[in-house]
Structure 1
Amino acid sequence: MREALAALTVRGRAFLAAGVTAITCAIVLGQPMLTRVGVLLAVVPLATAFVIARGRYRLALVRQVSPELVAAGQPARVQLALTNEGRTPTGVLLLEDQVPYVLGTRPRFVLEGIGHGWRRHVTYQVRSDVRGRFEIGPMTVRVSDPFGMVELGRAFRTTSSLTVTPRTVPLPTIPLGGARTGSGDNRPRAFATGSAEDVTVREYRHGDELRRVHWPSSARTGELMVRREEQPWQSRATLFLDNRITAHRGQGIASSLEAAVSLTASIALHLSQRGFTVRLVTASGEEPGTTWHFREAELNTAPLLEALAVVQPTSRSVIDTAWLTEANQGGLLVAVLGHLDDVDTPVLRRMHHHAVTSLAIALDVAAWATPLAPASGAVAGLSRHGWRAVSLRPGDRFENVWQELGRQVSRGGVGTMTGTAPAGVGLVGRGAGATS
């Protein structure tokens, strides 16, 4: 009852105050008729509060977000299923779902005539231009009487998650190196020589050529085993995203980091569609849940996109190298880089030697801070250390930059050193137009 009295609306409090005032005046002035009016005015809000307090509301809520994984700028639908499982009919329900401001305004609904067994479905849409993982809910419910005297608040505890992935664009098909890199388009043949440990095998299938039977493995397992079409590393791709806060400029969705994340997501989808197994590595190391996204589910890139949706800038000044192990050596490496310093030279040189094919897209981050800034010398520095690299400036289309990277591969080949920088020369030039 105390909670219901505290939930009196302005109208309810006004009625109660008017009733008390009328009763007081009636006693002072000796007007019995005024007493009746005062009692009526005071009883209405008090009786309403009593009824609201005695009511046993058993409202059930089921919230469903579809889809739970959506690209930035695309809408998601939230469906609410409300049920009154109590025996007491309710008055007017005022519903408000708690939604982060980046998903839009908070939806509000007014429902009336809610009796026992009542069920209602309500749907609304949310949309975000910002990537991330957001919690929708909890739902707050305000129960009001028909006279508007009392408004009692309730809240559900459950929330639902919505993951907004970075924007992506389709990328054109480009050569990704020689026949040894392997992809969905030009996958290499397995070597016919070498020890059993150097060959990957699978079970024999009807139609397989007998010359591909691997007899040592067949003898060991007791059934026919054939060589696979590729070495384990030949269709692997590692995506490296430089997410160091010191390597990027700009704020919010217009920052160079957001451009880098969106580009990385586009490349991840492109490589998966071409048959690569893909993993994501950032400056903090390998991202959890993205270790070698296998080709058996090549179009199921949800783990990669979810990891990119929640990538945050790191305060690390040096790139983590724990993922550069012999067990993961080889394959394709595509690096999306920010601002580079000389301290990054040993790490990037090691990354290049770790991969069979090393490609890089270096963001000219100075242009995000100053649009008329001169071009960076990062691409030239990367080329000196064997990378095939192109630059990305604000306003450049991802597909055009990717196409230019393909032309770099076609002109010079990949995986070979084009020159050795003199001792003490880093990835960042010191001449005009270079950054430091």
Structure 2
Amino acid sequence: MLAWLLVNAVVLLALLAWVYGRYALRHVGYARHFTKEAVFAGEEIEMVERIVNRKLLPLPWVRLESMMASGLVFGRQHDLDIRSGDRFQNHISLFSLRSYRQIVRRHKVVCAKRGYYVLESATMTAGDPIGLSRPSRRFPLALTLTVYPEVVPMREVPLPAHSWLGDVTVRRWIVEDPFLTAGTREYRAGDGLRSVNWKATARTGRLQVHRKEFTADHRVVVCLNLETHERMWNAVLEPERIERAIRYAASILSHAIREGIDAGLLSNGWTFGGPKEPVRVEAGGGAVQRTALLESLAKLQLETSVTMHALLDDELARDPQETDYLIVSCHRGAALEERAEALRRRGNGVEWLLVEGGRDR
């Protein structure tokens, strides 16, 4: 009798294991999304998961596992185990799922570091109540999140106090002065009627507007140098210092766009998902331009593709008109100084923002 019960038990367990091994993950769906597609570093968002079991067979246990970058900081939950490393973190959660049931799980996430985060897949494992069978299934996600650099107040950006940037450009674009004019120019689409100079219009026979010194012809290009010293090549050795430089660049560009100034970006790094080529965002204005600049900085990798002085050689060859350059750099090497002086001789405004070592003050 005991032998017969043991045989029945073994057969029943084997049948249970076969059923779960074959059908546990059939008609199971999984999806996740972030509540925002793009945020600034330091902001908190939610990651929402939806798991659905579209069949009669209940799942007494489900193990969900995914790998993410460590720049996203998750809050602690009783059913979530996070095993963190320097660059990546492994998320493991364990829960049950009854028949014909959907559950929604919400996770608080602090976007601690700028970056472009890609979540490619999650792996689900389920099985019978005693764990004899453990079928697994990989769910492709293709989920992305863009985390822009933190934009700090301009008073925290260490711009030089005694320079053309402080004396001239402050009037032109750092601090908007709507009464500062520099002659007239012909009307262009988008100009407001309040800017029309009626006397000049009557004199010339063509519609003329006041030319504001801070927006008329000039534009600013931020040259973000990822080299921490003149002889550095390839990988960045002081990431915290370069991250500070990126925050300064983001703050200046964002402020310039808000003040109505055309702004562009030039960097000897390269961006995630693209070729290992220098970053160049041509100067422009408006909300779309600001987003393009911040997105480029979010995707910027801490690795150089060329030297910064080679990029300035390209600028000299391109002969950009009415462009001011702000070089955000950790050093003022001889090669960089030489190119900066060549730009000055040609009539371009050039200023430096040196990023000192150590932590943020």
TM-score, normalising length: structure 1 = 0.62
Asked if structure 1 preserves the Cα contact closer than 8 Å seen for 2:226 and 2:236, the reply is no
Whether contact under 8 Å (2:236, 2:304) holds in the other structure is no
Structure 1's 86 and 216: CA in aligned 2 closer, same or farther, altered over 3 A?
A: farther
1:189 to 157, 181, 184: 181
Please give the root-mean-square deviation of Cα atoms over the aligned residues, in Å.
3.6
Is 1:112 matched with 2:65?
A: no
Residue of 46, 49, 65 corresponding to 2:14? 46
2:188 matched to 1:201?
yes
Partners of 1:268 and 1:179 lie apart in 2 by: 14
Does residue 31 of structure 2 align to residue 66 of structure 1?
no
Give me the whole-angstrom Cα distance separating, in 2, the residues matched to 1:343 and 1:257. Answer: 20
1:292 is aligned, of 280, 283, 291, to 283
- 1:258 maps to 243
- What is the rounded CA distance, in whole Å, between the counterparts of 1:203 and 1:38 in structure 2? 86
Check if 1:148 corresponds to 2:135: no
Q: How many residues align?
A: 321
Describe the SS at the equivalent of 1:201.
coil
Give the conservation status (yes or no) of the 8 Å contact 1:72–1:131: yes
Q: Which runs of 5+ in 1 are unaligned?
A: 1-32, 193-197, 219-224, 364-391, 398-436
Which one of 87, 94, 100 corresponds to residue 69 of structure 2?
Answer: 100
Name the structure 1 match of 2:227: 244
Picking from 212, 216, 227, the partner of 2:209 is 227
Report the Cα offset of residue 89 of structure 1. Answer: 4.4
Query: Hey, what does 2:141 align to over in structure 1?
Result: 158
Shift of 1:323: 3.3
Q: Which residue number in structure 2 is paired with residue 414 of structure 1?
A: none
Q: 3-state DSSP class of the match of 1:50?
A: helix
Distance 1:52 1:96 in 2: 19
Kept in 2: contact 1:190–1:230 (CA 8 A): yes
1:306 counterpart = 2:256: no
Pair 1:344-2:341 in alignment: no
Give the match for residue 76 of structure 2. none
Amino acid at match of 2:27: R
- Alignment match, 1:280: 265
**What is the CA distance between 1:307 and its match in structure 2?**
1.3
AA aligned opposite 1:394: G
Looking at structure 1, the residues matched to 237 and 251 of structure 2 have their Cα atoms a distance apart, in angstroms, of: 21
Give the Cα separation in 1 of the matches to 2:139 and 2:202: 61
Distance 2:169 2:332 in 1: 31
Question: 1:147 is paired with a residue of what secondary structure?
Answer: coil
Match of 2:352 in 1: 360
SS in 1 for 2:315: coil
Greater share of strand: 2
1:81 to 50, 54, 63: 50
Aligned residues of 2:125 and 2:134 also touching (Cα < 8 A): yes
CA displacement, residues 181-235 of structure 1 (integer Å, 9 cap, x when unaligned): 732612543533xxxxx745237866655446499896xxxxxx55364487535
Partner SS, residue 271 of structure 1: helix
Aligned-partner Cα distance in 2 for 1:211–1:42:
101
The amino acid that maps onto 2:290 is: T
Deviation at 1:143, TM superposition (A): 1.4
Aligned counterparts, 1:342-421, within 5 A: 342-353=334-345, 356-363=348-355, 392-395=356-359, 397=361
- What SS does the aligned partner of 2:117 have? strand
| CA shift for structure 1 position 99 | 1.7
1:62 to partner: Cα distance: 2.9
Q: Which has the higher contact order (CA 8 A, sep 6+)?
A: 2
Contact persistence 1:200–1:228 (CA under 8 A): no
Provide structure 2 residue ranges, at least 5 long, that are not aligned to the other structure.
74-81, 83-89, 270-276
Q: Deviations over 1:297-348 (max 9, x none)?
A: 28x7332222122323315344313234666322432111223332333311
Name the aligned partner's letter for residue 338 of structure 2: P
- Counterpart amino acid of 2:26? Y
Partner of 2:273: none
Query: Counterpart of 1:332?
Result: 324
Residues 157 and 179 of structure 1: is their aligned pair in 2 closer, same or farther, counting only changes over 3 Å? closer
Percent of matched pairs sharing the same residue: 18
Asked if structure 1 preserves the Cα contact closer than 8 Å seen for 2:114 and 2:149, the reply is yes
Give 3-state SS (helix, strand or coil) of 2:45's partner: strand
What is the distance in 2 between the residues matched to 1:215 and 1:85? Answer: 78
Counterpart of 1:341 in structure 2: which amino acid? Answer: G
Deviations 1:226-267 (A, max 9, x none): 53644875352111111236546984543x322222222222
